[in-house]
Amino acid sequence: MIRGSVLPLLRESAAAAVLVLADGTVLRGQAFGATGTVIGEVVFNTGMTGYQEVMTDPSYSGQLVTFTYPELGNTGVNGVDQEADRPHVRGVIARQLAPAASNWRSEGDLQHWLDRHGVVGIAGVDTRALVRHLRDGGAVNGAISSDGTSPQDLLEQVRSAPSMTGLNLAAQVSTREPYTWIKPCPAAFDARLQTSPERPFHVVAIDFGIKRAILERLVAHGCTITVLPSDSTLEQVLSHRPEGVFLSNGPGDPAAVTEGIALAAGLLKQANLPVFGICLGHQILGLALGGASFKLGYGHRGLNHPCGTPGQVEITSQNHGFALDAGSLPGDRVEITHLNLNDRTVAALAMRQQPVFGVQYHPEASPGPHDADHHFGRFVALMAERR
């Protein structure tokens, strides 16, 4: 049984809020952020830092994110850490909201930032018990409400909401118009490798829900980027004369992104064109190769997932609810180069005869460890070899 009582160190003046899961679980707490009712898939993130990056990551579109770290908001919010122009989480579940923000980069507090962007939150729930519940039963739809809607009405709404399986959310978060990105992350905030080749590599990035940190790391490794919508055709991509194509991260079910899969299949016929996919882009590559994907019980969302091959391990940042079926991938064309060492799911793949590879995790590490940043260098090296 999950405790729904309000935990200490919350503002006594805060309005009441309720979290209702599709299995009938009801948790009560205190409201923060915007007032209202939101419905989405309830998931959890185990990272100890980076709450603003998580909330603005388009891959969390349609989800209510439970943070296992017990306090949110202690470092405030700022413009540099945002992965998009606005938050993409639908709701936030926390144990405790910090009473004050304190950080040299802080430009405001989390409470007012969420309110301004219309994100509904609930604090004061036993998030450890909730995570155990989700771990045992799997991610489920749920609702957060702070507007007085009854738990019974919320339960009816939750049970009629669509499952994440079959949803093409990438089409909802993708850019509508092409644009160019040439800015790396300011060196004051990221001391990692930055290169300035005499002639930067031109990359076309397909936006399925791309994070700014990925664009910044590609630029830092010597690329200029043309970002195109998720429904771009092969002809549109090739018209930009790319030296490489990047398939981005994004939300939802990869099997539902049919236009992206068709594009990837067309790109694979361009035998010498380097292609790199991250997260959803990695899954789309696998599907384009004839593989299949499946929904994980509760997903991988955190900053300390070990992935690797014998003798080499990378600690990685991850955020995904689906994975590729290893047995469905054609072994004569594809090598599984990395496994998630927690559950042995596919963490990375590469084509045997073509300059094409994908990783299930996030080498840009925003937030997270920098172990996997070398994959950007690997992509650039493939383009340099082709050039």
- List active site positions: 279, 362, 364
> What size, in residues, is the chain?
387
> DSSP for 305-359?
EEEEETTEEEEEEEEEEEEE-GGGS-TTTEEEEEEETTT--EEEEEESSSSEEEE
Matching residue, tokens 């493939």: 382
Dist CA 231 CA 340 (whole Å): 30
User: How far is CA 13 from each of CA 10, 30, 121, 153, rounded to the nearest angstrom?
Assistant: 9, 9, 15, 25
User: How far is CA 146 from each of CA 21, 31, 128, 175, rounded to the nearest angstrom?
Assistant: 15, 6, 22, 31
Q: Give the pair of three-digit tokens for residue 229.
A: 């919508």
Q: Residue 162, CB half-sphere, CA atoms under 13 Å: how many?
A: 9
Dist CA 360 CA 340 (whole Å): 9
